[in-house]
Amino acid sequence: MPEGDTVLRTARRLDAALAGRVLRSADLRWPTLAAADLSGQVVREVVARGKHLLARTDAGVTLHSHLRMDGSWHVQRTPPPAGAGPGRAPRLRGGSAEGVRAVLVTDDWTAVGHRLGMLDLVPTAEEDGLVGHLGPDLLADDWDIDDGSTDGAGAAVAALVADGDREVGAALLDQRLVAGIGTFWMSETLFLRGVSPWAAVRDVPDVAGLLARTRRMMRAAADAREPVQTTTGDTRPGRNRYVHARSGLPCLRCGTTVRVAPLGSGPTARSAFSCPVCQPGPRPTDDGRPQAPLGHDRRGGAPARRRGTSPRA
């Protein structure tokens, strides 16, 4: 699932293309939005909130989207009316036409949403109904780990510490506590801090420092010229991360085999990758069976992507 850094990059790209421009048309291919008409509205801004995207217009409405596992937004030049040819629609980049869920067209740019996991249209004043449950956004511009405020960093640290009995990996993934972290940054940050994902939050030293380091890495990824997540400083496939998706491969630091195991239980269970030597502490019983890298990429590179599903009616 795209994490906060990817969503922030997407928001910046959409904002650069759409903000201040009039929507010539807005084709929302979603069962509940088929009759919606945004044409003529001016896009004020596109912002990220954790893993959510909010496109706000001058009419006081917000188009909310979530990428879930396979969603993406692509931006392309809008061809002149004659360029599409009579009776023909312009070719949409980024995937097959059947996967398109939204097409936002201005005179200059067209934004195409593919395989979006969520798409909603609400009054901007009612955005909290969609994102109000989220904890502080780790990548927000006003985040300050040392400001002592009751929101932002201060609230996130307090929420994590208050959930002291919980596994730290699961707590970091809980968007109600802090928004934006997914399994990649959770696994990599805990490796770099030498902490087991299954350790209780109360046993983790310097929770504020843990969040600060995660934020620095995610902001660096969001600001990088190329959209490559790396925690090693190396962008080559198989060398750009220490443990995430590298189950069954040697730890890049000590050579021990990286392992993957469930984190949490029930429908919210996730996978956590770790090195048993570099990250001592509690972990599930391991039967020692051979494990393949996520996506069966034995180089340890990016996992294979899974096909998305159609939205529910």
105 or 91: whose pLDDT is higher?
105
Burial environment of residue 221 by CB neighbours within 10 A (0 to 12, 13 to 18, 19 or more): buried
Taking 50 as the threshold, does the pLDDT of residue 85 lie above it? no
CATH architecture classification, 153-296: Orthogonal Bundle (1.10)
Q: Give, in words, the CATH class of 4-131.
A: alpha beta
| Residue 90: predicted pLDDT | 54
Average pLDDT value over all residues in the chain: 89
C-alpha span between 140 and 136 (Å, rounded):
8
| Residue 87: predicted pLDDT | 41
Domain ranges in the chain are: 4-131, 153-296
| Residue 311: predicted pLDDT | 31
216-224 LR contacts (CB < 8 Å, sep 24+): 217/185, 217/188, 217/189, 218/3, 218/4, 218/5, 218/138, 218/139, 218/180, 218/181, 218/185, 219/5, 219/139, 221/5, 221/6, 222/4, 222/5, 222/6, 222/8, 222/9, 222/12, 222/139
| Residue 127: predicted pLDDT | 97
* Whether pTM exceeds 0.85: yes
Taking 70 as the threshold, does the pLDDT of residue 11 lie above it? yes
Percent of the chain whose pLDDT exceeds 90: 75
Confidence of residue 130 (pLDDT cuts 50, 70, 90): very high
Give residue-wise pLDDT tens across range 178-202: 999 999 999 999 999 999 999 999 9
C-alpha span between 163 and 102 (Å, rounded):
39
- Give the mean pLDDT of 288-294: 92
Confidence of residue 150 (pLDDT cuts 50, 70, 90): low
- Catalytic machinery residues: 2-3, 51, 270
- Give the mean pLDDT of 80-103: 65
